[in-house]
Amino acid sequence: MTIKDINEKIISDAKIQADKIITQAKDHANNIIEKNKKEADNIKNVLLNKYNQESILKRNKILTEANLEAKKNILL
């Protein structure tokens, strides 16, 4: 094997290793992004459920107060 062949082999091996590292880094980044999307979706769903429950409670409070006021007016 000549020095040129050895140099080409070293460069070729280095490129292969670099490609593997880049692929692993991309996979890792994609996994982190996917995990964060799932966590964000979970947080969003929790908040939406919380706001939905709050709005239902407020609506029920308004209806209850209106019914009480109507009954009070009927009794007067």
Specify the pLDDT at position 52.
Answer: 97
Per-residue pLDDT at 1 exceeds 90: no
The string of pLDDT tens digits covering residues 46-72 is 999 999 999 999 999 999 999 999 998
- b/e 47-59 (16+ beta carbons within 10 angstroms → b): eeeeeeeeeeeee
The predicted model scores a pTM of 0.59
Q: How far is CA 18 from the centre of its chain?
A: 30
